[in-house]
Structure 1
């Protein structure tokens, strides 16, 4: 069974999400003694929540790194994200892939569900205000 078949399903969400059409830049990172970082990749946000994101991308493998894991499912690769959120700016987070699936059979287009594992207090506060409909003050970086 391939990785694509092992993961999947948007039905596992724990919270409400905000539909958002925005750009996301990300890198796949294998951690540990043989740490490796992929080239920068791009995608489009489908929806966003305080604890995760789903995005569309053309690439789930870059520089020999898979968006989910390389060797064993228990050793997940990390995804370093920069999400361009309207009226907020760039929110940075680190996530792990929970599921992914091909959007259209035969095409190289995927939807990926990520759970945030690291978000700064400042970025989490901005994201929370954005998701609650309040104007978030962005202090550029």
Structure 2
């Protein structure tokens, strides 16, 4: 591919500009080029295996399915076996988002029930209840 680009595509005179792309690049474009810093999620560790989380939340691994938090449904995560544990992490941040003991049977769904709860909603509900109780006691909502 590189040879074709150098000897054919970039070496022939372009029909519209009347110039060779390589010459145009060197004369006009090169000075405007800047290094591109790749996002952290592109530099994934070789030890991590990427998997897509399905719409119901689990990821397949060695004949079983393991849950991940609801927020990751439909996205890609990194999976790594660490001893007897399955470590699941966010590919962009590297943050561990779930961990499960590896189950050696087949056809099982191993889940953490907290993965299926919308904790932000629960926290919001508690804040409303606390605020209402504080108001009732004369604290002005604080």
Task: Return the TM-score normalized by structure 2.
Answer: 0.26
More helix by percentage: 2
The higher-RCO structure (CA 8 Å, 6+ apart) is 1
More strand by percentage: 1
Task: Return the TM-score normalized by structure 1.
Answer: 0.26
